[in-house]
């Protein structure tokens, strides 16, 4: 069992766990992910490693309650434990010292995985400009943590309830106008946001790394559920990624593949809601 040593509610639907997982904490690097399974009947849920503490042997996971699996997960409290944690998985971010500023962009829960990348870039001696954004103020988190690992931080909300009003893409365009020597962009968030960022930086010619979060089962290259088309080549996000050249990723396909089990997810969610109301769903 892997105990939840701390839980933080970041917003109504976004939760944070610090999980005791010494093997993962010892090896975790920016850009990697892990897989957890809450209990015997649970899904294997891939989550990006948002932070790690090698001494305490803990890793930090931030997740949004979207489907039945993440909702059930969100009900766990500090002191509870999850059944399985495996990792670190995936190829770490390529961190190097660049000859000019770099930008990291985190959208929604994507702020979590962008944080260790920003920190690693900063530690490598880069000038790091961070952009974080969410639909509204309530969904924003880690502003201070991001500020601590970047030279400049731009915060935006779609509805203008906090920071600059507008999308992260608009902020990135302005950033580029002021920093034409921008060397590289990392963008993590919902797939449509990553696609928008890639489309924004393509004409600028700024290399852009995105972190793909497709459906996944084992996370070790065995099932092929996570395949992503990159520059016309099929890649497995779990062992070849999760980071890829954003300008080469086929996002249309990725978005369609993400929706393969949409009907089933709705069914599971409905069954879960029904249970909560004390109804019978006939599912067991």
Residue 71 interacts with another protein (CB under 8 A): yes or no? no
The packing angle between helices 168-178 and 191-201, to 10°, is 20
Residue 86 within binding range of another protein, rule CB under 8 A: yes
**In terms of CB distance, is 3 or 42 closer to another protein?**
42
Judge whether 64 is annotated as a binding position: yes
Residue 81 touching another protein (CB under 8 A) = no
Q: What's the rounded Cα separation, in Å, for the pair 44 and 34?
A: 10
Minimum Å gap between C-beta 11 and another protein is 23
Q: Is 42 annotated as a binding residue?
A: no
| Least separation in angstroms between CB 263 and another protein | 8
User: From residue 173 to residue 212, what is the string marking binding to another protein with x (rule CB under 8 A)?
Assistant: ----------------------------------------
Whether 283 has a binding-site annotation, put simply, is no
In sequence order, the β-bridge partners of residue 53 are: 58
| 256 lines the binding site for another protein (CB under 8 A) | yes
Nearer to another protein among residue 86 and residue 146 (C-beta): 86
Residue of the chain from 96, 135, 234, 273 that contacts another protein (CB under 8 A)? 234
User: Is residue 31 a contact point for another protein (CB under 8 A)?
Assistant: no
User: Cβ of residue 163: shortest distance to another protein, in angstroms?
Assistant: 36
The residue count for binding another protein (CB under 8 A) is 46
48 labelled ligand-binding: no
* DSSP-assigned states of every residue in the chain: -EEEEEEEE-SSSEEEEEEE-HHHHHH--TT-EEEEE-STT---EEEE--EEETTTTEEEEEEE--SHHHHHHHT--BTBEESEEEEEESPPP-----SS-EEEEEEGGGHHHHHHHHHHHHHTT--EEEEEEESSGGG---HHHHHHT-SEEEEEETTSSSSEES-HHHHHHHHHHH-TT--EEEEESSHHHHHHHHHHHTTTT--EEEE-----SSSSSSS-TTEEEETTEEEEHHHH-SEEETTTB-HHHHHHHHTTTHHHHHHHHHHHHHHHTT---S--
Minimum CB separation of residue 131 from another protein in Å reads 30
Per CB under 8 A, does 83 bind another protein? yes
Q: Is 124 in the site for another protein (CB under 8 A)?
A: no
| 167 annotated among ligand-binding-site residues | no
Residue pair 217/44 in contact (Cβ under 8 Å)? The answer is: yes
Q: Taking the complex as a whole, how short is the minimal distance between the CB of residue 115 and another protein, in angstroms?
A: 21
Does residue number 69 form part of the binding site for another protein (CB under 8 A)? yes
Antiparallel, parallel or unpaired: β 45-48 and 51-53: unpaired
Is 56 a known ligand-binding residue? no
Residues in touch with another protein (CB under 8 A): 23-24, 27, 37, 41-44, 68-69, 72, 83-89, 217-218, 220-225, 227, 229, 234, 236, 239, 252-253, 256-257, 259-261, 264-265, 267-268, 271-272, 283-284
């Amino acid at each position: 069992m892997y105990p939840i040593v701390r839980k933080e509610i970041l917003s109504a639907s976004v939760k944070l766990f610090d999980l005791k997982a010494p093997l993962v904490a010892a090896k975790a690097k920016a850009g990697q992910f892990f897989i957890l399974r809450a209990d015997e009947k649970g899904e294997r849920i891939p989550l990006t490693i948002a932070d790690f503490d090698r001494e305490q042997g803990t890793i930090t996971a931030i997740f949004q309650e979207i489907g039945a699996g993440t909702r059930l997960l969100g009900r766990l409290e500090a002191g509870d434990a999850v059944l399985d944690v495996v990792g670190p998985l995936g190829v770490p971010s390529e961190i190097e010292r660049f000859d000019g500023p770099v930008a990291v962009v985190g959208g929604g829960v994507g702020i979590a995985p962008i944080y260790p990348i920003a920190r690693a870039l900063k530690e490598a001696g880069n000038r790091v400009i961070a952009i974080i954004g969410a639909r509204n103020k309530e969904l924003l988190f880690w502003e201070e943590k991001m500020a601590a690992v970047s030279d400049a931080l731009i915060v935006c909300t779609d509805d203008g309830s906090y920071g600059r009003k507008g999308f992260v893409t608009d902020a990135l365009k302005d950033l580029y106008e002021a920093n034409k020597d921008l060397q590289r962009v990392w963008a993590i968030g919902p797939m449509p946001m990553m696609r928008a960022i890639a489309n924004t930086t393509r004409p600028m010619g700024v290399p852009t790394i995105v972190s793909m979060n497709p459906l996944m089962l084992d996370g070790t290259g065995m099932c092929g559920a996570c395949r992503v088309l990159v520059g016309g080549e099929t890649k497995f996000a779990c062992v070849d990624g999760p980071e890829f050249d954003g300008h080469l990723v086929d996002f249309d396909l990725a978005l369609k593949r993400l929706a393969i089990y949409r009907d089933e997810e709705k069914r599971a969610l409905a069954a879960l809601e029904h249970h909560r109301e004390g109804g019978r769903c006939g599912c067991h």
